[in-house]
Amino acid sequence: MDAVKRFDALVVGAGVGGLYALYRLREKLGLNVQVLEAGDGVGGTWYWNRYPGCRCDVESLEYSFSFDPELEQEWSWPERYGNQPEILQYVNHVADRFDLRRDIQFETRVAGATFDRKSNLWSLTTEAGEVFIAPICIMATGNLSVPRVPDFPGLDDFEGETYHTGLWPHEGVDFTGKHVAVIGTGSSGVQSIPIIAAQAETLTVFQRTANYILPAENGPQDPEVEARHKATYRERRKAAYDTPFGISGYPYPTKSALEATPEEREALYEETWAAGGQIGFLFAYTDILTNDESNKTVRDFVHEKIRGIVKDGHVAELLCPNDHPIGTKRLVLDTGYFETFNKQHVHLVNARKAPIEALTKTGLRTTEAEYSFDAIVFATGFDAMTGALKEIDVRTTEGRSLTEDWAAGPYTMLGIMCAGFPNMFMITGPGSPGVKSQMILSCEQHVDWIVDCLAHMRESGQAAIEPTEASQHDWTMHVKDVADTTLYPKAASWYMGANIPGKPRVFMPYVGGVNRYKAKCEEVAAKGYEGFTFTAAEGRELAMAGED
């Protein structure tokens, strides 16, 4: 086994959050940081998800780093929404521009993380048996980073090609002339289906639950829009933090959908549909996400749109979501998704009525029929929010295990720390608004808070910080209470853990809004990290690098 390697701080994951953590810890605190990354490149979600059509559903001028004004000005996004290759290119540019690669060890998957209270050190063990130690451990492991294939019987029997959207081959896949199945109609399925359909001989889509899918209205970046945005970037970034989703440019609505006349609503919804994007509908009225009757006005509008696009009436009805309020599952943005079902060689199978029973040698079997395919694409999602942390055996030498602590659902303080696990910070962990926000903004906000906290510890002679059990309990209950005031818990979503059999049904993200969350984080810090306890250094310094 290699010698133990010592650092000031360890960061797990070289996605957007991990890279920014490395940059800030180095630049603001001068720490010697080691990032450990499973992939052979930076980018996290944008490194792994290379499926055809993969594109961000937040506009690029918003979905980008804000920490460096020159970076903002020098980078140009060719389209309204960045596609995966462009975003990955951007993240690589950031890694090069700020000389981040020298502190990243690639192809290194962390298997275990143990904290020893006596030495005040985290010890991270990799799958290859390497050991890294540091007093600070930052988990930048992502929320949608553990791809999941349902446990279909016969998975290994199928002799054709299989792919998961979240683990797409780097060299791409050519479906020309092939009979292809796509299982799953979340964002990944919806984005890939039109592109796969354009190549494949036949495409059969297995849909268990219809999703609310809105037009992206993607297109080339309008140079005037870009120039205007860049001229006001600072104000926009600041304004974004004052919004629930961390995205600027959407004025907060002032009235309920039920206060508007049907004609007013129709006009606004038409305008919103034509403009494209997901925030417009959520922000059309004050109560779209809290009042089912208001929500239904949007649902009815979207159903009519689907019926207007899809020519086969039976297929159109199947594509109309009917089991959850709009917006309570992640809204999906599409380009040509519904139109794809007007093509003769594209078929939709109702996998709710006839569930997939098993994979076979030549394809798959539902409770009603057998199908043959050359390739099956699993667009079946992720073990979201808790999956990546539970894959690492996080524990303390005192015998506390994060997986055991989270057996009934995640417990965190602010989605940043867990009681009993000192100096382990999560970036956009469960209990934070991360997945319900512009992710890069949330990653920056979390990292800035963590780095300020570490600076405070250094100045005040503290070696360790952890939340109290009471504050963690209160925050976790608050996350639940806030969710209960909305329609979110009505959907069997991955926010609830509902996509994984046996996973506790707990609503995991904080949906009180980025604005309220950030204010709470600032209040906690201003009150001397209220709800957290510190352990005095007493000779154990936070900086460790260079010791034997």
Binding site for ligand NAP (CB under 6 A): 55-57, 144, 150, 165, 183-189, 191, 206, 208-209, 330, 351, 356, 379-382, 494, 499
Element (H, E) at 241: helix 233-241
Q: Using the 8-state DSSP alphabet, how is residue 147 labeled?
A: B
Among residues 491, 189, 217, which one has the least CA distance to residue 341? Answer: 189
Q: Which is nearer to ligand NAP, 54 or 482 (CB)?
A: 54
| Angle value at C-alpha 111, between 105 and 113, nearest 5 degrees | 90
Residue labelled with tokens 């690669």: 101
The dihedral built from the CA positions of residue 524, 385, 144 and 141, taken in this order, carries a sign that is: positive
Q: Which is nearer to ligand NAP, 335 or 472 (CB)?
A: 335
Question: Cβ 245 to ligand NAP, closest distance in Å?
Answer: 13
Q: Which is nearer to ligand NAP, 382 or 488 (CB)?
A: 382
Q: Which is nearer to ligand NAP, 152 or 425 (CB)?
A: 152
Q: Which is nearer to ligand NAP, 260 or 320 (CB)?
A: 320
Q: Which is nearer to ligand NAP, 431 or 434 (CB)?
A: 434
Question: Cβ 290 to ligand NAP, closest distance in Å?
Answer: 21
Q: Which is nearer to ligand NAP, 53 or 420 (CB)?
A: 53
114 φ, ψ (degrees, to nearest 5): -125, 135
Is residue 379 a contact partner of residue 182, using CB atoms and an 8 Å limit?
yes
Among residues 259, 331, 329, 320, which one has the least CA distance to residue 294? Answer: 259
Question: Cβ 24 to ligand NAP, closest distance in Å?
Answer: 25
CA gyration radius, the chain: 24
| Angle value at C-alpha 450, between 446 and 456, nearest 5 degrees | 145
Question: Cβ 323 to ligand NAP, closest distance in Å?
Answer: 9
Question: Cβ 158 to ligand NAP, closest distance in Å?
Answer: 15
Question: Cβ 487 to ligand NAP, closest distance in Å?
Answer: 17
Question: Cβ 303 to ligand NAP, closest distance in Å?
Answer: 18
Q: Report how far apart, in Å, the C-alpha atoms of 118 and of each of 295, 449, 463, 464 are.
A: 54, 26, 11, 11
Q: Which is nearer to ligand NAP, 56 or 247 (CB)?
A: 56
Is residue 275 a contact partner of residue 307, using CB atoms and an 8 Å limit?
no
- Chain position whose Cβ is nearest to ligand NAP: 186
Q: Which residues make Cβ contacts (< 8 Å) with residue 326, sequence separation at least 6?
A: 212, 281, 288, 295, 298, 299, 302
Question: Cβ 56 to ligand NAP, closest distance in Å?
Answer: 5
